[in-house]
Amino acid sequence: MARPEIWIERFLVGPKFAPVYASSDKYVLPARHLHWYESPLDAAHSILRDQVGLSVPRGEISLVDVQSHVSGDVKNEDEPPHWDICFLYRAQISEKMGVNLARPEWFSELVFRPLGSLGRDDFTRGHGDVLDAAGMFRKRFPHT
C-alpha cells in the first residue's frame, strides 16, 4: 500500500484510514465496497482483475461466507456507526499465476501467502476478523 491515495480513489477506502492501513505493516485482502447495482460476484471478479491483476473465470470464484458486522462509534465523527456486510469469496488460483503476478506500482507489496502461515492479527482493516469468523484459519484448501 505504498500509495494510499490510490486506495482512496479506486477502492473507496476512507481518506483517514488508508494511511493508517498503509503504516500498520499488516496485510489487507484485496477488497472494496460494492458499486451501485453491482452484484457481489461481479465485485469479486473485478477486484481480482483490477487490484490483483488476474483474469479468473467467474466459475472459479466461489462464495465462502456472508457476514454482517456493526462498526464505528457514535462518539467518533470519523467512523460513525454503520453496518458492514462482507461477501467473502475464494478463487482457485494456480501457483504459477501467483508466481507470475504482475505487481502494479501502486501495490508493490502485493504477494500471495499461504493462509496457513497467517493468523487473525496479521491483518488490518478488520480482514483478520472476517477470515476468522468464516473459519478460514481452520480450513485447508488444496493448491492447484
- pLDDT tens for 101-142 read 767 776 666 777 777 788 899 988 888 888 888 888 876 555
Residue-range domain boundaries for the chain: 4-133
The third-level CATH classification (topology) of the domain covering 4-133 is Nucleoside Triphosphate Pyrophosphohydrolase (3.90.79)
Q: Is 30 exposed, middle or buried (0-12, 13-18, 19+ CB in 10 A)?
A: middle
Q: Which residue has the higher pLDDT, 98 or 128?
A: 128
Each residue of 10-28: pLDDT tens digit? 666 777 777 888 788 888 8
Q: Which three cell numbers stand for residue 113?
A: 501467502
Each residue of 31-43: pLDDT tens digit? 888 889 999 999 9
